[in-house]
Structure 1
Amino acid sequence: MKVIAVDDEPVALDIIRTHAEKIPFISLDASFLSAKDALAYLEKERVDVIFLDITMPDLSGIEFASMLDSEIQVVFTTAYPEYALKGFELEATDYLLKPINFTRFLKACQLAETRLQAPGLKKREEEQALFVKDGHDWVQIKFSNLIFAKAEDNYVDLHETDKHTLTRITLTELQTKLPVDQFIRVHKSFVISRQKIERIEKHQVTVGGNKIPLSKLYRNQLLQNVGKDR
């Protein structure tokens, strides 16, 4: 794989260069201290993967990534874990926290290689899941497994077929991240999977074996959508 690295810290680039020299299936063709110089390079050269710092002057890694061709994979590198969600929203292949050790760097390269050998895999995965924060970790929530989401004060409890995850987010914000053709709100505190609806009654809905309250405000909307599905 043809790889470049972009980071405004020379030491960070040295670490990536040292790691890359140990991996036979990648070629670190160039490294840049300036995002603008990297963009100029990309106008002339083909690249498979970019190791990209997030906090840089002039042009941030997030801004840089949003300008790239969708075929180029991005692995974000940063000392700040709070940017992880935004990184995954931009369909990043991986997210490495500094200081980057070799084992973690190798894993990111292997993931990028797998996606390069299976065209379209990255896009399909991103369309079918989202990442949420669970304590200090980030976990993947697959849409196909998600049964319903319940608001709990300033948190949302995500109930999947095999587990549930409590994450700090509002239900309204979560709903903007869910596919509108797969999920629908049925109560001020509940969003459910349309595919997993088993029964609709006057004041409740059965979804994946769970009885969820159905408010009058959302009942007509639910019935209209169910009618469209049929």
Structure 2
Amino acid sequence: MRLQDKVAIITGGVSGIGLAAVKKFVEEGATVVVADFNEAAGKELEVAYAKHERPILYVQTDTSNRESVDLLVQRTVETYGKIDILVNNAGITKDAMLHKMTEQQFDDVININLKGVFNCTQSVISHMSAQGYGKIINTSSVSGVYGNIGQTNYAASKAALIGMTKTWAKELGRKGINVNAVAPGFTLTPMVQKMPEEILAKMESVVSLQRLGQPEDIANAYLFLASNESDYINGHVLHVDGGIMM
């Protein structure tokens, strides 16, 4: 029970990596608040855990909208009295080659993947600072480290998260707040599973372990960085990519 008595907000928590993290955190003793824009899936998840020893609270949230984020944080504090962990997992893709990418595609991805993380983190830090403790985990990507064809917007947002992570680690470490990032590789989320088999095979071929990641692989990294086992890790980018060779 590595997260016993901890209160965690997980954004983008109704599917894929986020959902795996929700399940993992609950198993490890955390009280979890799921922030996601998908109200139907969020309510379904809340109902599924309604009779659990640690029920889940779902709050519909648009992380790109500061008012929406502030309401999420307010409701969490009003319900549970504190926030110990923030997992900035929410993200979207709108891929296109540079010469075809629209301004709207670029802005949409930046607003969720980058501004959304800024909004959520800035909104929780006063509560974490007041208690002298907090764990903030940002979800970057191997695309933000190596770049990726057709992902100008996505790679830019994920590279920027690394810079923000290192900056916040320096600003917030003295207040007892650890800020780290996870850089997942190719992971078998529902979106990836819909890709043609030949594309999946090509993705596997550049991974030294010769397999794609499972959402649970990334959730385990979140768990480690959220737990007391990582108390002396700050400003780090943890690559969870199976040894990708790009």
Normalized per residue, the structure richer in helix is 2
TM over 0.5: no
Q: TM-score, normalised by structure 1?
A: 0.40
Higher relative contact order (CA 8 A, sep 6+): 2
Greater Rg, structure 1 or structure 2?
Answer: 1
